[in-house]
Amino acid sequence: MSNAMLIDLTRCIGCRGCQAACKQWHDLPAESTRNLGSYQNPPKTSGKTWTLISFDEITVDGQLDWVFAKRQCMHCQHPACASACTVGALHKTADGPVAYDAAKCIGCRYCQYACPYDIPAYEWDQTLGLIGKCDFCVDRQAAGLEPACVKACPTEALVFGKRSDLLAEARRRLARTPHNYVQHIYGEHEAGGASMLYLSSVPFASLGFPTLAAEPATAYTELIMRQTPGIALGVAAGASAVYWIIRRRQMMQEQAAAPATVTTAESAEEVQS
């Protein structure tokens, strides 16, 4: 039975220890960010930010709540990204992680389009682009360790274990304090099920989680895949060129405006290089 993670949003205090621990374990660079009127930063997961906490102010029955949700790859049971991958760079491991092999990746970004959760992120500003996403600490798991994010969580909002055990634990929590939860284990059935299982006090749709059928998304992707491998490299090259032009224009605008920018060390180097 594969490993999974139970993410109980009702226990999350939004401290973002998981977010920092992920960057630390994987030695991921910081992004250049701005405060966009929210605590959430970076705004979304990317090749440099594999997990983050989203901050949603939600009013339920006239009561304000502020819901923190950890976002990362769902590690689907039947990953659409893997079936969309033309070269086998993504595959579901027996232990649970949807693993990524950068050496095989050709940067076609099919996985990005296939994923129902909008997770695999292409690192546009790298010359030779690669995909970046949560790897469920496949290396730590292989060494018998829990994922870095779980290790950092102070409130047991994140629990690591066998998927069957965590589903049982989730059901136990839903039954023990039903008023604390919407009666839904997100990830149990969505798109054929996932290794990431969520519990929440508010409807998942209100947090922007996609509403998905129980059918694996792979059924569609495999159909599309058969028709497209020939144009993959062409699309990739074209997209990179468009990105380069857009990015260059942005940089020139930024330099002209000279705003009170907030720049981290890594990103400053990138802008200069």
Partner 1 sequence: MTNHWIDLKNSDVILIMGANPAENHPISFRWVMAAKDRGATVIHVDPRFTRTSTQADIYASLRSGTDIAFLGGLIKFILDNDLYQKEYVVEYTNASYLVHSDYTFDAGIFSGFQSDKATYDKSTWWYQMGEDGIQLMDRTLQDANCVFQLMRQHYARYDLETVSNITGTPVADLRRVYEAVASTGRPDRVATIMYAMGWTQHTHGAQNIRAATIIQSLLGNMGMAGGGINALRGESNVQGSTDHGLLFHLLPGYLAAPRAKFQALADYIDANTPKCSDPLSANWWQNFGKYAVSLLKWLYGDHATADNEFGYGWLPKLADGGNYSWLTYWPTMRSGKIKGFIAWGQNPAVSSTHANGVRQALEHLEWMVTVNLWDTETSSFWQRPGVDPATIQTEVFMLPCAASVEKEGSITNSGRWAQWRYTAAEAPGEAMSDGWIINQIMRRLRQLYAAAPGPNADPILNLAWEYGEGEIDTHQVARQINGWATSDVKDKDGNVIVAGGKQVKNFTQLQADGSTACACWIYSGSYNEEGNMMARRDPVDTHPQGLGLCSNWAWAWPLNRRIIYNRASVTMRGEPIDPARALIRWNAAEKKWEGDVPDGGWPPGERLPFIMRRGGRARLMGPSMADGPFPEHYEPWESPVFNPLHPQETNPALWDLEKDAKGATHAFPLVGTTYRVSEHWQTGAMTRNLPWLAEMQPEMFVEISPQLAAERGIANGEQVLVESARGAIEAVALVTPRFQPFDIGGQIVHEVGMPYHWGYTGLVKGGSANELTPPVGDANTMIPETKAFLCNVRKLPGGNGRKEV
Select from 81-89, 93-101, 186-194, 265-273 the region that touches partner 1 (CB under 8 A).
265-273
Question: Nearest approach, Cβ of 39 to partner 1 (angstroms)?
Answer: 7
Nearer to partner 1, 37 or 144 (CB): 37
60 binds partner 1 (CB under 8 A): no
Is 258 buried (19+), middle (13-18) or exposed (0-12) by CB count in 10 A? exposed
**The one among 2, 33, 86, 93 contacting partner 1 by CB under 8 A:** 33
263 binds partner 1 (CB under 8 A): yes
* Closest to 83 (Cα-Cα) out of 214, 225, 203: 225
C-alpha R_g of the chain? 19
61-80 residues in contact with partner 1 (CB under 8 A) are: 64-68
Question: Nearest approach, Cβ of 105 to partner 1 (angstroms)?
Answer: 25
Select from 15-23, 112-120, 186-194, 229-237 the region that touches partner 1 (CB under 8 A).
15-23
255 binds partner 1 (CB under 8 A): no
Question: How many residues lie near partner 1 (CB under 8 A)?
Answer: 42
144 binds partner 1 (CB under 8 A): no
Nearer to partner 1, 201 or 228 (CB): 201
Nearer to partner 1, 52 or 84 (CB): 52
- Which helix (H) or strand (E) segment holds residue 173: the answer is helix 163-176
Question: Nearest approach, Cβ of 30 to partner 1 (angstroms)?
Answer: 3
154 binds partner 1 (CB under 8 A): yes
257 binds partner 1 (CB under 8 A): yes
| Torsion (CA) 47, 99, 207, 160 in degrees, nearest 10 | -120
CA 64 to each of CA 32, 59, 60, 68, 202: distance values in angstroms, whole numbers, following the listed order: 31, 4, 6, 13, 11
Question: Nearest approach, Cβ of 16 to partner 1 (angstroms)?
Answer: 6
* Closest to 96 (Cα-Cα) out of 133, 138, 132: 138
38 binds partner 1 (CB under 8 A): yes
Question: Nearest approach, Cβ of 38 to partner 1 (angstroms)?
Answer: 7
Q: Reduced to 3 DSSP states, what percent helix, strand and coil does the chain have, rounded to the nearest 5? A: 40, 15, 45
Sheet with 3-8, side-by-side order of all strands:
158-162, 3-8, 196-199
Distance in angstroms between the alpha carbons of the first and the last residue of the chain = 46
Report helix, strand or coil for 6.
strand
23 binds partner 1 (CB under 8 A): yes
**The one among 2, 26, 30, 86 contacting partner 1 by CB under 8 A:** 30
Residue 10: Cβ within 10 Å count: 15
Which residue, chain included where needed, has tokens 């709540």? 65
CA 259 to each of CA 20, 234, 245, 252, 263: distance values in angstroms, whole numbers, following the listed order: 27, 37, 21, 12, 11
Which residue ranges make up the site for partner 1 (CB under 8 A)? Answer: 11, 13-17, 19-20, 23-24, 29-39, 41-42, 57, 59, 64-68, 154-156, 257, 259-260, 262-267
